[in-house]
Structure 1
């Protein structure tokens, strides 16, 4: 079992040999085999592969060239995800929090997967509990189990009580024995998922999947209609099958899923270059939609450290007593927070040594209580904490503390008390000194806040410090509303009233952990997409519930584990790049979806047009109506109006904030644009077929020119706003068909021939009609809005 000195090296080796190691298969990305399988075996690849085999079997190898998209999907998707995997794996090593264990009587740090059964694990505020077991030492240990049970109140843990993985320490410290490890641990899956490369739930992905499901249901009946309609045209099964494949292929948005994955993966790599770890890929989507950013002041707007500016005595307390009391409190605190560390540094610099007061009881700091302290034998109880919590509102020392805090300084009060407990608070408090600290503002904070204001992202500054102090810091940074900070102790409890206040106010002080969580929920109730930054254990609940949790790399292990994004270098100025990358990804996927769904719409429209037209021709005894395209024609059109430009647009920079309801926005563009492509193409094909007769390829040439021109028009609309390279891209794609038609070997390869002036004139009129139709739709739409 191991003694209180921990396991020996020999005992650790025995457990490792027996497999009693904490292998929970925690990983940050999918293994290569899963990546390859996920990109190779997809429904779209399967459908396209089957159609390619059919087209090659009945129409020759050229008719199956459209299947090259499968190869591109597999290669590009796999390479980009492997690249993102390597980036995530490297960054996750930097983000991993080691476990502290006692072995051979010494404290050592080991990786979580190197814990063995019966290890003695040391924990302190901010630490995640990684395995399960009983407590063997407790120094006022308090555990937050809200991620497991939903209960927000911390749970005190005494010797013999059990702790479970997935919880975290909020106050005190202790030691527990690792008994349930690896897959046996209560929340092993929760711990594993904290840093996993996730292609998890995403509104954007769900929207794309809805499109694909709808298209899948439409393909079968339309294919049947095409076969029936072509039977009236010819008894040649080969021609019928090739025509049917040509009608079905453009209905499939074959590159849409690929380019979505590529855009996500490239976003991960780009953010990784800025030492920003994206722990869940859908987080990039949240980056683009964020319209409210909640900032925890300490560690975000200010640097992690602080300096003691002054120790100001209260009443007749002498400086020596103040120094000794603070030194005794520092010595008694075995889990000091940044404030206590700043006090310790000041005392060391000033030459004040610990007086050696024996501590009968230590009262650890808690963000909910906002004070810490100890009871010393012969010296009474001393506490250090927030003035407005420990002092009465009319106490002169509290009034002085408010005055100093209004200058942007942080103020704590050192007091004595007749008695104090972590559950009941302090009784008989007498102020002894004010501890005044100066916080260090980040040099980039003002510029970063100005960026968010310019981008229309509302900022809410939240802190556990005094409201006047937080307001003073916010004023120095030029934050709107900083002149009217709100004390969170006076906040309404009604969710609607709280939401109304959050819409108006900007700066909040004395905020408790459960209130941060309430802030997030209240803002979400008003349909805001909320991002929350934080670095402490008191931020965990809010980070978990926010649409996007952003943790600092130097913050607590608990905050890093629940956040979707971790700024490994603690640099607040990285956030504009994070938001910009999210907007780039989502905005570009929207453009790509516009193109692919436009193609799907006009393909369905043309197939129905031909099927119904052929049926009408058969009933009325008119000449038959063959399908206007071969698969090789569709390969040409798709390559230069969808495939090549979509890939380039998917990786382009953009700064527009993504709008909600992805499906609705795409359909607003794709359906009218697709109809305006299909109708003129179908009509001009009928006219050309009537003019030339069915025995020539010129009707197909006319239809190909018309559809190509209209698809380039859709590309020109989707590519907006324009920069120089987009203009070159659209121009190059527009001239591609002219080059093919003007080059006999290319025209012959694509089963086309040079058009006559009549064909060009007919195509130009049809293209003009399609453009005019879409312009008219937009005009009517604007009038209605």
Structure 2
């Protein structure tokens, strides 16, 4: 069994999201007002409840995704028990079981090979690219280990299970990747920090407000004696709840959710909603070559003819058309295959990853092809000193030109094979097994390259324009990786061999700042590279598709998996490109920018309210003035100046580039604007008392209009630059405020009234002054932040 328990249980998630000091204060106020029969003033409890539900759902969704994580895709294992081959569930595989491995199977447990068909021309070859990142298959002999998560690509065999469950290689990777963590989000961390500050400030503020409201009713004893304590409690609850930015988390979550739906329609899956902002902040993008920049397929590049022999092109076509051709050989079918009649093959030897060559013997001339032995394989193994028994063959090629040319082509990052011919037959009786014949003549050097994704160059160009540094990381040969990097437009003469990378994080970071292309990178090194870049202050995105990429993808600030990725890699990635189109990335960047810019705009609205709520509570509490609003009247201003417009503003188009310092910029505007509103209400209270003996309802209505008038202009400032839709939103909010006074039902429900003329003129003057001050604040804020116009 794979290890379970990746994160907090559902109960732990509920406790963490429900039983908070923030919720305790909000729901305590909600309960107090319901107990007093003032349900009209308890409307603030609904958005608080929605915030809690959203938090629980988001974290539980992330938990379920991680708990479903599994490296293995195979649903069953094939074992040999009691002399019979049986299909059993993975959790029933035990130590000592004999796995029956066939071409196409995935290895389901770490095992030791006990038997292969290597005595014949084939053998057991395993693709370990999902585990190691290296694309070449690995030949397995008796007593070699095969790891869970790898796949059999050629041959067959039997292997004894030596590790199961948590001890297996794949399970260890899974266990590391399963550990619960949330994506790093500047928006979320900043908002969480604000909520933490506000929550801890609420304690002393409650005492100040409660005492102030009791004193405003004549003191504790008087208020309790004449029953006015009820009004004092309602005022205290209104003051405390006003300090909490109830809708900020909700609007932020909605903005993320809508972005997730938008990107999903473009075949981009966002597995954790705040990740949508990630690419807008990234300045270092680490790309896995195979499966990300390339499709993982090989394509034929060119044939460099050396010594042509009759029918050599027909031979290449036969090799490409062969049913058992490997991925590289199949590339020859398109340029050279398609012949109607097969060649008269007497003996065939399939490709072997140890020999590094394949061959067949033609006993007679057929279809214009010279008879004899035709060999296709790695130049060093066919022509050079590694060519089997070459030192014992008098006719072995001594011509250095083909090998030198092959070396030059390999240095250019091309996979190179040689086609050679000999009139002699294969030596199948040699002491060391199969041996190449004498007098091998190099016919042509064939070059292959990985198929680069058509959208890769354009997408990387986009990131370059945005100031994002790209690093290509792969387990393949550095020369091959460098060639792919050059093909997609990266300036790279040679790749850096990761076997020379230092282990010290600081030294590794220095190398990463200099180099851009790396080959022979191990999974542990990929993870170390992510950490080294983060230690140097970079925001890192990591792409990949193999299990070997999973830990680095998880630890990166933003992990991105391709559609062909292993299940484990997809599960830990924050973003999955469902159709494998790399050109989706600019759209994700644009969506992230829109969210960051709009949430910053919206946060200024909420924090303005929090600022004036705290300031009013302190002033009115210390001076023992009655709180100037009922909770239901604050619902008017909250809904018209923040709640409704914030929802629309958070979802509108916005192409502003990301700049760090979200919290600093937001507070630089919100605190002064909140103090402007506070000053306006203080002036209204002081001057209003001097103008005449106005009723409590008159003063509360005047306070509501003063607050709404200035706060709506704050909205108008933050909605800039103007557009028809933004103008419509602001005008609609002004119209909504007017309707509250015009419609008798709403006027009675919210307990507001038409103002006496002196008080109305005072409100008009104060609001006009506040508007001027907000405009001056906007001009200062633009210079302070050096930002483009809002």
Fold shared, TM-score > 0.5 on shorter chain: yes
CA distance in 2 between counterparts of 1:400 and 1:715 reads 70
**In structure 1, C-alpha distance between the alignment counterparts of 2:335 and 2:783, rounded to whole Å:** 71
- Match in the other structure for 1:742: 742
Q: Which residue of 1 aligns with 2:245?
A: 253
2:297 match: secondary structure: strand
Q: 1:357 deviation in Å?
A: 5.8
1:501-580 to structure 2, matched below 5 A, reads 508=517, 512-513=521-522, 520-521=530-531, 523-536=533-546, 539=549, 542-556=552-566, 559-560=569-570, 562-580=572-590
Aligned residue among 767, 770, 773 for 2:770: 767
> Secondary structure, in 3 states, of the residue corresponding to 2:285?
strand
In structure 2, the partner of 1:267 is 259
Give the conservation status (yes or no) of the 8 Å contact 1:531–1:548: yes
Please report how far the alpha carbon of residue 224 of structure 1 lies from its aligned counterpart in structure 2 after TM superposition: 0.8
SS at structure 2 position matched to 1:666: helix
1:141 and 1:158 in contact (8 A); partners too? no
Distance in 2 separating the partners of 1:468 and 1:188: 32
Work out which of the two has the higher radius of gyration on C-alpha atoms and give 1 or 2: 2
Residues 441-520 of structure 1 aligned to structure 2 (within 5 Å)? 441-461=452-472, 479=489, 482=491, 484-489=492-497, 493=501, 508=517, 512-513=521-522, 520=530
Distance 1:540 1:171 in 2: 23
User: For the residues of structure 2 that align with 1:23 and 1:510, how far apart are their CA atoms?
Assistant: 31
Specify the alignment match of 1:611 in structure 2.
621
1:293 aligns with 2:285: yes
1:678 & 1:446 partners in 2: Cα distance? 55
Distance 1:686 1:163, change over 3 A: farther
- In structure 1, what is the Cα distance between the partners aligned to 2:775 and 2:183? 42
Identify which range, 685-694 or 742-751, moves more after superposition.
Answer: 685-694
Taking the aligned partners of 2:144 and 2:566, their CA distance within structure 1 comes to: 24
Aligned partner of 1:412 in structure 2 is 416
Aligned to 2:445: 434
More moved, 303-312 vs 458-467: 458-467
1:116 corresponds to: 92
More displaced, 340-349 or 726-735? 340-349
Shift of 1:253: 1.9
Partner residue in 2 for 1:214: 197
Q: 1:384 aligns to what?
A: 378
Give CA-to-partner distance per residue, 1:35-56, whole Å, 9 cap, x none.
9998877654443232122123
**Structure 1 residues 672-711: aligned runs within 5 Å:** 672-693=672-693, 695-711=695-711
- 3-state SS, counterpart of residue 698 of structure 1: helix
Question: For 2:71 and 2:147, how far apart are their aligned partners in 1?
Answer: 22
3-state DSSP of counterpart to 1:656: coil
State the Cα deviation string for residues 140-174 of structure 1 (Å, max 9, x = none): 77979999xxxxxx999987788887x76899997
1-side partners of 2:402 and 2:578: how far apart? 40
- Give the counterpart of 1:601 among 611, 619, 632: 611
**Residue 304 of structure 1: how far off its partner (Å):** 4.1
- Report deviation, 1:242: 0.7
User: Using the alignment, how far apart are the partners of 1:586 and 1:784 within structure 2?
Assistant: 14
Structure 1 residues 183 and 446: alpha-carbon distance in aligned structure 2, compared to 1, 3 A threshold: closer
CA distance in 2, matches of 1:578, 1:102: 42
- CA deviations over 1:722-756 (Å, ceiling 9, x no partner): 44322211221233222222334322221111133
Report the secondary structure of 1:738's partner residue: helix
Give the Cα separation in 2 of the matches to 1:409 and 1:682: 75
Equivalent position of 2:41 in the other structure = 63
1:111-147, Cα deviation, whole Å (9 max, x unpaired): x986533476678999997666666568577979999
Query: In structure 2, what is the Cα distance between the partners aligned to 1:180 and 1:736?
Result: 69
Residue 759 of structure 1: how far off its partner (Å): 3.3
Question: Aligned pair in 2 of structure 1 residues 744, 453: CA closer, same or farther (>3 Å)?
Answer: same
How many residues were matched structurally? Answer: 714
Pair 102,184 (structure 1): closer, same or farther in 2 beyond 3 Å: same
Q: Which runs of 5+ in 2 are unaligned?
A: 117-123, 218-222, 362-372, 387-398, 421-439
- The answer as to 2:361 corresponding to 1:363 is no
Residues 734, 199 of structure 1: alpha-carbon distance in 2 compared, 3 angstrom cutoff: farther
Shift of 1:607: 0.6
- Say whether 1:713 aligns with 2:691: no
The corresponding residue for 2:429 is none
SS across alignment from 1:653: coil
| 8 A Cα contact 2:283 2:468, kept in partner | yes
Instruction: Indicate if the aligned counterparts of 1:302 and 1:439 stay in contact, CA closer than 8 A.
Output: yes
What is the CA-CA distance between 1:771 and the residue it aligns to?
1.2
The change in CA–CA distance for 1:317 and 1:712 in structure 2 (over 3 A counts) is: farther
Would the alpha carbon gap of residues 349 and 458 (structure 1) be closer, same or farther in structure 2, given more than 3 Å must change? farther
Asked if 2 retains the 8 angstrom alpha-carbon contact of 1:296 and 1:461, the reply is yes
Q: Which moved more, 1:121-130 or 1:430-439?
A: 121-130
Q: Which runs of 5+ in 1 are unaligned?
A: 1-21, 148-153, 365-371, 417-428, 615-624
Q: Secondary structure at the match of 1:102?
A: strand
Distance 1:86 1:142, change over 3 A: closer
Aligned-residue offset at 1:651: 3.0
8 A contact 1:463–1:509 mirrored in 2 = yes
Q: For 1:53, which of 16, 31, 35 is the aligned residue?
A: 31
1:102 to 2:94 alignment: no
- In structure 2, the CA distance between the partners of 1:541 and 1:746, relative to structure 1 (3 Å rule), is closer
TM normalised by structure 1 equals 0.72
Q: CA RMSD in A?
A: 5.7
CA deviations on 1:514-538 (whole Å, 9 max, x unpaired) are: 7766664554444232223334566
Per-residue deviation, residues 677-718 of structure 1 (Å, max 9, x unmatched): 323333333322333346443332232222212222333344
Conserved in 2, the CA contact under 8 Å of 1:386 and 1:413? no
How many Å separate the matches in 1 of 2:44 and 2:164? 52
Q: More displaced, 704-713 or 692-701?
A: 692-701
8 Å CA contact retained: 1:132, 1:164: yes
